[in-house]
Chain A
Amino acid sequence: MRTSKHCKLPDLGILKDNMTIMCGGFGGVGSPPTLIEWILESGIKDITLICNDAGFPWIGPGKLVTEKRVKRLIASHIGSNPEAGKQMHSGDLEVTFYPQGTLAEKIRAGGMGLGGILVDVGLGTSIEEGKEKAIVNGKEYMIEPALQADLAIVSCKKADGYGNLIYDQSARNTNPLVASAGNITVAEAEEIVDIGELNPEEIITQGVFIDYVVQSKGVDWKWVWELKRES
């Protein structure tokens, strides 16, 4: 019987072609490098990827796009990943955009067991085309269904063996939302500590949402600002 969620890596059997994967991070910051590498090495393809943005071609979830493992992307922005734009224009990648705050709330709704959200951001623009509407308290909203995923992957600063997580500064971003919206969720931690070591007041994601905790090997890419400085 497993009494700790800490493992080297989850069973490869949970990775399948055509699965929906949700990935934490914002511009690659806070995306889980070790788990992204694990997915790449598994060879799975035709992934539906849900994340804030497409990262950069060599950073974060952008790597899955660059390696052509993604058939559908649900995101708010792909501007920093020209590879995603190229695949979208060639028809190899289907992209669905949502306003950033709407996407975050759709994910949170999925994680919190709600059917969806009512939101007015995007009314009066092309965003509202084809959207179901609702009038509540005399105001018009779009009905945006919640998002969940077969697998959610997140990164954090510290995790304990129960899967309680704390994050690091702006690397928190979409991670707590994504962590709660996976049917299976794997957290990659910079540091794994004993149960009881994390201050209960400071835990952001409760271990109940987490199935596996994996030791991070650290960021294996160079940030844009590092490359700029070198050149």
Chain B
Amino acid sequence: MGMGAETRKLIAKRASEEIGPLMMVNLGIGIPTLVADYLPRSLGVMLHTENGILGMGGSPEVGEEDGNLSNAGGYPVSIIPGASFFDSAEAFGMVRRGYLDITILGALEVSGRGDIANWIVPGKRVPGMGGAIDLAQKAKKVIVLMSHTTKDGKPKILKECSLPLTVKEGANMIITERAVMKIENGCLKLIEIMPGYTVEEVIDSTEAELEIELVRRH
């Protein structure tokens, strides 16, 4: 992604503002994982993992790790008071049933209508979808955190995704190092500009049509 640690933190912090009290939230790998650092315990948020934890806590101290207590990526985690364990079928049952308030994930491409592509680059990288399709299709709100452009500076927010889709019209919000955008009724709207960027720079680096409804400059 080529983004510095501070930029990644800024994106994660902005995403955390979307999370309200008692919400059930799933955080994907990469920048989404950092969102947990900005959630005060008093908010009563329950972080969900695909392998079967509701109420995931932060990373344990070195030496305190438990091989049988990990997130979906296999890394050691802790639990918070009120947490529970269950099998993977139940983990996705609560997602399909519509109880997941927010899923925050990374993406390779997003279209202006909210199509997300993040699980396969045919012929190149075929890791499998894991839980991405379940989460992106069933969460009440889908927030994409990613770099605004590819390493070569090409737009990732496109008129149409070129890669196979994870979900059709699933994304509600995109947060990048350049801007915050929301997708409403199939329209992509620029609502915030991140520090160091101009509206023109955001428009120039976005292929999809952007409506400008600025409410905040960071």
Tell me which residues across on chain B come within 8 A of A28, comparing CB atoms: 74
Contact with B along A102-133 (1 / 0, CB 8 A): 10110110000000000111111111000000
Range, interface on chain B: 35 or more
Query: Closest CB-CB distance, B62 to chain A, in whole Å?
Result: 7
B53 at the binding interface (Cβ < 8 Å): yes
A170 and B85 in contact, given A29-B68, A77-B129, A100-B130 (Cβ under 8 angstroms): yes
Q: In the complex the two chains form, is A27's CB within 8 Å of B73's CB?
A: yes
Instruction: Count chain A CB atoms within 10 A of each CB in B79, B87, B93 and give the residue with the most.
Output: B87
A79 and B128 in contact, given A101-B92, A101-B96, A169-B68 (Cβ under 8 angstroms): yes
Bound CA span A144–B92, Å: 16
Q: Which residue of B lies closest to A54 (CB)?
A: B128
Query: Closest CB-CB distance, A145 to chain B, in whole Å?
Result: 16
Contact with A along B81-122 (1 / 0, CB 8 A): 000011111011101100000000000000000000000000
A177 at the binding interface (Cβ < 8 Å): yes
A92 at the binding interface (Cβ < 8 Å): no
Bound CA span A144–B69, Å: 31
Query: Closest CB-CB distance, B99 to chain A, in whole Å?
Result: 13
Contact with A along B63-77 (1 / 0, CB 8 A): 001111111111111
Tell me which residues across on chain B come within 8 A of A167, comparing CB atoms: 85
Which of A126, A169, A174 touches B87 (beta carbons < 8 Å)? A174
A175 at the binding interface (Cβ < 8 Å): yes
B133 at the binding interface (Cβ < 8 Å): yes
Which of B66, B131, B165 touches A99 (beta carbons < 8 Å)? B131
Q: Which residue of A lies closest to B62 (CB)?
A: A229
**Interface stretch (choices B15-23, B44-52, B173-181, B195-203):** B44-52
Q: Which residue of A lies closest to B169 (CB)?
A: A124
Q: In the complex the two chains form, is A104's CB within 8 Å of B89's CB?
A: yes
The DSSP consensus for interface residues of chain B is loop
Bound CA span A34–B74, Å: 20
Bound CA span A79–B73, Å: 10
Query: Closest CB-CB distance, A91 to chain B, in whole Å?
Result: 13
Which of A85, A171, A174 touches B126 (beta carbons < 8 Å)? A85
Tell me which residues across on chain B come within 8 A of A174, comparing CB atoms: 87-88
Q: In the complex the two chains form, is B51's CB within 8 Å of A105's CB?
A: no
Contact with B along A163-186 (1 / 0, CB 8 A): 000011111111111000000000
Q: In the complex the two chains form, is B67's CB within 8 Å of A105's CB?
A: no
Q: In the complex the two chains form, is A173's CB within 8 Å of B87's CB?
A: yes
Q: In the complex the two chains form, is B96's CB within 8 Å of A29's CB?
A: no
Bound CA span A224–B75, Å: 8
Q: In the complex the two chains form, is B87's CB within 8 Å of A175's CB?
A: yes
Tell me which residues across on chain B come within 8 A of A119, comparing CB atoms: 96
Q: In the complex the two chains form, is A125's CB within 8 Å of B88's CB?
A: no
7 A-B pairs with least C-beta separation: A101-B92, A79-B127, A27-B74, A124-B168, A171-B68, A100-B131, A77-B128
8 CB contacts below 8 A, A to B, read A27-B51, A29-B68, A29-B70, A85-B127, A95-B126, A99-B133, A167-B85, A170-B51
